[in-house]
Amino acid sequence: MTQFSGLLKVVRERGGDGTMRGRPWSLPLAERVLMVAV
């Protein structure tokens, strides 16, 4: 869980939520990162 929290923090710092252009995401950022990590 600690490693995932660190990964999520890095993704947020690097602009992981994007520019919010186009169709909005149906999943929160944490769930999208988890899906990619798995």
Nearest CA-CA partner of 11 in 31, 38, 26, 22? 31
Least confident of 1-5, 14-18, 34-38: 14-18
Average pLDDT over residues 1-23: 87
Contact 11, 33 (CB under 8 A): yes
Which pTM value belongs to this model? 0.71
Give the separation between CA 9 and CA 21, rounded to whole angstroms. Answer: 22
- Provide the 8-state DSSP code for 27: S
| pLDDT tens, position by position, 16-37 | 877 677 888 888 999 999 999 8
If DSSP states are collapsed to H, E and C, what string results for 1-23?
CHHHHHHHHHHHHCCCCCCCCCC
Domain ranges of the chain: 1-37
Report the pLDDT value the prediction gives residue 19, as an integer from 0 to 100. Answer: 67
